[in-house]
Amino acid sequence: METKRISVDRVNPEAELIKEGAEWLRAGELVAFPTETVYGLGANALDASACAKIFAAKGRPQDNPLIVHVSGLSMANSCVNKWTSSAELCVKNFWPGPLTLILPKTSLIPDIVTAGLDNVAVRMPSHPVALRLIEEAGIPIAAPSANLSGKPSPTRGGHVWRDMKGKIPLILDAGACEVGLESTVLDVSGEVPTILRPGGITREQLEAVLGNVYTDSCSENQAPRAPGMKYRHYAPQGELILVSGHRERVVQRMVQEIIRGHSRFKKVGVLCTLESASYLHDRHPDLLFVLGSKDQPSEVARNIFEGLRLCDERKMDLILVEGIEEGGLGSAVMNRLEKAAGKRTQHI
Ligand code: TXA
Ligand code: MG
C-alpha cells in the first residue's frame, strides 16, 4: 500500500486535509493523526473489521483493548452506558485533554475494541487536528499509539512514517506532540477512581478534584486491569539501563557503564538531564541526548520517546538513561523508562 504523509497546520488544520482523513476513516481504513500526547493510529470504532486492521498493522496482541477517541459529550454518550459522579467530575475538569476514562460500554462498541471487556476506554483529545478529524468523520475513533507494538510511542510524524510506511494510506503530520507521553488511564467505573496507567494528567491533579485515588499496582500474578500494562513496552532495540537516585552517584555509575560498554566494543548512547550533560559529554559516548532539565519533568516527558528512537536510528548497542524524580509527570516518565528497561533498573 502506498502511504501518503501530509503536513497539516496544528492550530488551524486545513479543511480539505481533514476531509481527506475523515473519508478514509469512514471507508474503514486507518489514518495516523497527532494528538497532544502521542500520534494515534485511528479507525472507525464502530466497525469491527476496520479495528482489526489496527491490530494487524501494529502487530498488537488481540487481548489489548483500544482507546476510543471522541470529539464531544454526545459522542461519548453513544459509547458509555453509565456515567459515575467521578467520571463527570473528570470530564468537567480534564476534557479535552490527556485523560482516558474507563466506563461501562454500550452495545455500539464491538468486542474487538474492548478485547471482550464490559468497559470501554474513552478520551476527548485537545489537539485541534484530532478534534477536527473526529468531528468531520462523525464517528468515534479507536486509536492506540501509532507505533509498531513494543516500540517507543511516536511523538513526531517521522516516527509514524518509519513504523507504518506501506501499511496505512494516510499520515497527518502536525510536527511534535506537546505532552510527549500517553494519556493517564483512569478507571472511574467503580467506587474509588484507580489509575491504571500514569500519564499526562498527574495523580496530584486528579486528587485535587477527586480526593483519594488508587493506583493499580499490576502485580505479577494478577491479571492487570489495563491489559496493555503487562507487555514490555517502549523498548528500543539496544540494551537499556536505567540509572536513578543521587545525581552524582548516578553520573559516576553512567561513566563506569560507558567505559565498560566501550571496552566491549559497544556503541553507547546516553540520555540524560541538562544538569548532567557536560560531565557525561566529556566521556565521549557515541550519542548524547539531553532530555531536559531535571526540574522540568514536562520537558523530559516531551523528549523521552524521541531520545529512545534516536538511539535505535543510530544503532546504539547500549543505552544509558538517567532517571528523574518521582511525583507529577516524573512518575509517568519513570513508569515508561522502567518498562523499557525491564529488570535493568539501578537505583543508587
Ligand atoms: O495518549 C494516549 O492514550 C494515546 C493517544 C493516541 O490517545 N493512545 C494510547 O493507546 O496510548 P494505547 O493503545 O497505546 O494504550 C491504551 C492503554 C493500554 O494500556 C490498554 O490496555 C488500556 O489503555 N485500555 C484500553 N481499553 C481499556 C479497557 N477497556 N479497560 C482497561 N484498560 C484499557
Ligand atoms: Mg501504546
pLDDT tens per residue, range 252-292:
999 999 999 999 999 999 999 999 999 999 999 999 999 99
**Three-state SS at 311:** helix
More confident residue, 230 or 12: 12
Assign 232 a pLDDT band (cuts: 50, 70, 90).
low
- Residues in the ligand 1 pocket, defined by CB under 6 Å: 35, 37-38, 40, 64-67, 98, 100, 102, 114, 117, 119-121, 123, 143-145, 182-183, 185, 196-197, 225-229
Q: CA-CA distance, 257 to 259, in Å (whole number)?
A: 5
Ligand 1: residue of 62, 67, 148 to mutate (most ligand atoms within 8 A of CB) is: 67
Mean pLDDT of 334-342: 95
- Count how many Cα atoms sit within 13 Å of the Cα of residue 82 in the half-sphere of its side chain: 7
Average per-residue pLDDT for the chain = 96
Assign 227 a pLDDT band (cuts: 50, 70, 90).
confident
Ligand 1: residue of 185, 187, 229, 232 to mutate (most ligand atoms within 8 A of CB) is: 185
Atom 18, ligand 1: which residue's CA is nearest?
A: 228
Please report which ligand is nearest the Cα atom of 35: 1
Q: How many CB atoms are located within 10 Å of the residue 48 CB?
A: 14
Count helices and strands (H / E) in the chain: 12, 16
- Characterize the bridge pairing of strands 287-292 and 214-215: unpaired
Closest atom of ligand 1 to 200 CA is 1
Mean pLDDT of 201-225: 83
Ligand 1 midpoint to CA 257 (Å): 35
- Comparing C-alpha atoms, which of 64, 130, 134 is closest to residue 97? 130
More confident residue, 241 or 216: 241
Tell me, what's the pLDDT at 269?
98
Tell me, what's the pLDDT at 235?
85
Atom 29, ligand 1: which residue's CA is nearest?
A: 120
Locate the DSSP E strands across the chain: 4-7, 31-33, 40-44, 67-69, 99-104, 119-123, 141-142, 170-173, 184-187, 194-197, 214-215, 239-244, 268-273, 287-292, 318-322, 345-347
Tell me, what's the pLDDT at 225?
76
The grid cell for 246 is: 543521587
Please report which ligand is nearest the Cα atom of 188: 1
Atom 20, ligand 1: which residue's CA is nearest?
A: 228
- Comparing C-alpha atoms, which of 67, 74, 9, 76 is closest to residue 43? 67
Mean pLDDT of 195-203: 98
Q: At 64, which amino acid appears?
A: N
Mean pLDDT of 37-41: 99
Residue 219 has pLDDT above 50, yes or no: no
Ligand 1: residue of 37, 55, 79, 100 to mutate (most ligand atoms within 8 A of CB) is: 100
